[in-house]
Every structure is written in structure tokens, then in C-alpha cells.
Amino acid sequence: MRYIISGAAGFIGSHFCDRLLDEGHTVIGVDNLITGSLANLAHLRRNQRFELREQDICKPLQIDGQIDGVLHFASLASPKDYLDHPIETLEVGSAGTRNMLEIAREHKARFLLTSTSESYGDPAVHPQVETYWGNVNPVGLRSCYDESKRYAEALTMAYHRVHGVRTNIARIFNTYGPRMQLKDGRVVPAFLDQILRGEAITIFGDGSQTRSFCYVRDMVEGLYRLMQSDERYPVNLGNPHELTILQFAEEIRRLTGSNAPFVFHALPEDDPKKRQPDIGKARRLLGWEPKVELEEGLRETHRYFADVSAVLV
């Protein structure tokens, strides 16, 4: 099969390229490198079945030849990045999604949208199940991300209903692992970077807000299975093991043998207080659930960031 994948140089996108190539497919990656990194694809430089186009998907793109699947990963997924670039974030979720859907329609290819747990906003239902419509502040700081992804979901459903495109929508919950950007502000790289530098660990708010962390290998498996399914409505993918941020910080300290102190900062606006995926639907439809324990995933991620930091020094 010949696939096109937006956001190929990003964290999850680059891992998904690896998976497609491992399965014997041909991959055209597209990325404008606003948050992605060529280093994430360096190992594919000589792979004959992989090609990278440095291009912004918000502008129409011409793809010749057969395309069997269009995988839309491009997005500014970290709160720091989307707060720095709110207009680009809205644009990639709207115009970018439209352009990718157009490719799928023209080529009669299947289409996967990587959406987000942020579709639920600061959820009033816990754990979050796909039938919950969410609690999103449409004009808050996070709205550029949340609303662009909600629009992208609506557009994907419209292309399915109007044009019969075979679509899938994944709602990705917090995911971590190698190839995250060390300085993207998200909690896993932030804490590991602080520990590696011997700095204090920054806890936002009182640390009682919760998250559930999925290792990237599990996420890729879930996405790969979803991409082959006939489910058109959103499917949550994430790890249901929920921790407060304070518990999470303690766990990272324990695993890395660090005794870095905690320092408390103000909680960012609209930071969701609780987040845990209900993955009953993914279990039923895809026979999928996360397998990698937090301890194992954090060890691998710590090793990766230690190597990256060593290069940066």
C-alpha cells in the first residue's frame, strides 16, 4: 500500500512511519517542521520506500499516483506550542484537515484523523467515554487546539457522509516516549529535562489534576488497528491508569533516583482537572489495550532524553 502521512516528522507521526514501513508499505511523509524534527526521521534517510516532503498541508498539495491511505497526524499538540501559534493550530485543524480529506476523496483512499482527548475539554464526565460531548471553553486559551480538533472531527464525518470516504477518528490521550521534543513544555519531557539538569520539578497548581499516560508503542498499535477497522465514530486510545501530577512526579523521581525538589507554579488557564480514557470501545472493537507499564516506558524515555541531552551539551 502507498500511504501519505502528515506530521511525519512529529513524535507519534514518525513512529507511525516506522510501523508502516515495517509492514512493507510505501510512505510519503509531509511536514512543515513547525514542531516536528528531521532528527526523528534521520534513520529513514536511505529507505527507498520513504520520502519526505517539507511542505505545509494548509496549502493544497498535489500527490501523483496511487494513494491507498491518508493519515492526518499534523498538529501543534503541546500546550506550549499551540499557545505560541494559535492561528497555525486552527489552520492545520481546518484547512489542513480539508486538504488531507480531499486527497483521500480524490484517490478513493481511506483516511485516519488523529484527534484528541481535548475534544472533551475540562470533562464533567469521568472517565471520558466517546459518547460524552465535552466541556470546552470556545474562547479560552486552549480553544485554538480543542475547537480545531472538534472541527476536524466534524469535517471528517461530513466527508464520510457526503463523499463516502472510509474514515476513522482516534481520540488520543496523553502519550509519551522517545522523540518527544525535550523543550515542548509537556509534562514528561519537562520533568525528565529538569531531572537531567538537576533543576527543581515544576508542578503546576497543587498537582492534584490527573492524567493517564500511554507509551507510544501501545499508541501506534492502537492506531494501526483502528486504521483497519470500519468504525466511523471516534475511538478513545490511551492508558486508563490515572495518576495525579504529583504522584506522577514522585514516580519519575523514584525511577530516576532523583531527589530534585518540587516547585509549585500557577495552574494554566483551562487546564483539565481530570483525564482518564474509557477504552471499553477500543477493547471491544480492536481487541486493543495498553501493555507497557509506566515504569518500562519511563525508563526507555529517560534513556532517550539522556542521550539527547548529552548531544545538546
Task: Tell me the pairing of strands 210-212 and 242-244.
Answer: antiparallel
Determine, following the binding rule CB under 6 A, whether residue 186 of this chain makes contact with ligand UDP. Answer: yes
Instruction: In whole angstroms, give the CA distance from residue 131 to residue 98.
Output: 24
**CA angle, 149 then 153 then 157, to 5°:** 165
Beta carbon of residue 190, minimum distance to ligand UDP (angstroms, whole number): 4
Determine, following the binding rule CB under 6 A, whether residue 20 of this chain makes contact with ligand UDP. Answer: no
Q: Among residues 27, 169, 190, 260, which is the contact residue for ligand UDP, using CB under 6 A?
A: 190
Task: Tell me the pairing of strands 235-237 and 167-172.
Answer: parallel
| Count of all residues that appear for the chain in the document | 313
Instruction: In whole angstroms, give the CA distance from residue 39 to residue 6.
Output: 16
Nearer to ligand UDP, 26 or 148 (CB): 148
Determine, following the binding rule CB under 6 A, whether residue 203 of this chain makes contact with ligand UDP. Answer: yes
Residue 99: in which H helix or E strand, if any?
helix 97-107
Beta carbon of residue 59, minimum distance to ligand UDP (angstroms, whole number): 28
Determine, following the binding rule CB under 6 A, whether residue 226 of this chain makes contact with ligand UDP. Answer: no
Q: Which of 82, 120, 145, 176 is catalytic?
A: 145
Nearer to ligand UDP, 45 or 265 (CB): 265
Question: Which one of 11-19, 100-108, 201-209, 229-237 is the stretch in contact with ligand UDP (CB under 6 A)?
Answer: 201-209
Residue 226: count other Cβ atoms within 10 Å of its Cβ.
Answer: 21
Determine, following the binding rule CB under 6 A, whether residue 202 of this chain makes contact with ligand UDP. Answer: yes
Strands laid side by side in the 50-54 sheet: 50-54, 26-31, 2-6, 69-72, 110-116, 167-172, 235-237
Nearer to ligand UDP, 99 or 209 (CB): 209
Residue with cell 492526518: 72
151 counts as catalytic: no
Applying CB under 6 A, which residues contact ligand UDP?
Answer: 79, 174, 185-187, 190, 202-204, 209, 211, 245, 268, 271
